[in-house]
Structure 1
């Protein structure tokens, strides 16, 4: 059976606009007015799915809620753990730790922030994807379809895995807010359809 995974990136939020590494202390990273309005405009326009998942971050949980998706928070779809960089902007970190940022951008196995390396993230996401293709069939016409509202880094890692690319390709993938990236997989092989706007989805 072919497995279809529809990744939905979160709507634009305060942290995304600031290029901030996730949520800082006390920062709930709310969707901004534009992101909220865009998500509300495409609410409940999705096909049926055998499973609905969401990254356990505030912006993804809120996006799923506004889209009308009763999705299950999945720890395996958590964004890359950024250690002491969490809640800081890229500019702030680059000014304070230029060598650490350079290592992070060039070596997927490095974790200068004390959190999770990109290589570990790729392995985590790839394992989750591959377990989907071994799941048993569902009893209705939604079988094989998974919808996941996921952080951009999760979607990037999924694309890298689906294409069999090297981890360095992670930095060459741009995931825009509130867009769809679709994968279809069978027997360990994945195909990619990326970047469709949500308003193009038919229920």
Structure 2
């Protein structure tokens, strides 16, 4: 059994996040004053396929591999909508989605489906060494819920800010690494 260190990093801030709008695949990151990453030579980098994740990964040195399993949660008909618009036009649907992890009222992927997708990805992750994976807030919530064995509803109680890091290790089971 080989040791694995996996650090998930949330993509950098987007205009959508800044203005309270749900994401689109083509959302770009806002300019950064400086690179938020230290020297990461020797670390392998994976990224979700969305533009905001790829742009964040490009801030790292070296080659980057796109990992489709790290794709953001599919929000279906709600992609790109402002939260205020949803609160005004679809308050019951929004409340159901926020309270029920199995809800897919938007016609996309439910949080419980995302949790299963991320659990499957972690279970199949068999690459030893040190890895960084650029992904999204909901994916990081899903990974935390899986690694800690929390009820799916706990995912709504986790705030993931831009450029947040989630450090994991694997030696027989995934473990949260606090530092």
Q: When the two structures are superposed, what TM-score results if normalisation uses the length of structure 1?
A: 0.80
- Number of aligned positions between the proteins: 178
Please give the residue correspondences for 1:157-176 in structure 2 after superposition, counting only pairs within 5 Å.
157-176=142-161
Q: What is the alpha-carbon root mean square deviation over aligned residues?
A: 1.9
Runs (5+) with no aligned partner, structure 2 = none
User: Does residue 67 of the first structure (1) align with residue 60 of the second (2)?
Assistant: yes
User: Does residue 191 of the first structure (1) align with residue 175 of the second (2)?
Assistant: yes
Which residue in the other structure is 1:177 paired with?
162
Q: Which runs of 4+ in 1 moved over 3 A?
A: none
Write out per-residue CA displacement over residues 64-119 of structure 1, whole angstroms, 9 at most, x where no aligned residue. 11233522111111110000000112121121111111110111111000000111
Please give the residue correspondences for 1:77-88 in structure 2 after superposition, counting only pairs within 5 Å.
77-88=70-81
Query: What SS class does the counterpart of residue 66 from structure 1 fall into?
Result: coil
User: Does residue 31 of the first structure (1) align with residue 29 of the second (2)?
Assistant: yes
Please give the residue correspondences for 1:132-151 in structure 2 after superposition, counting only pairs within 5 Å.
132=125, 135=126, 143-151=128-136
Which residue in the other structure is 1:114 paired with?
107
Q: When the two structures are superposed, what TM-score results if normalisation uses the length of structure 2?
A: 0.90
Which residue in the other structure is 2:40 paired with?
46
- Aligned-residue offset at 1:23: 1.4
- Aligned-residue offset at 1:21: 1.5
Runs (5+) with no aligned partner, structure 1 = 137-142, 197-203
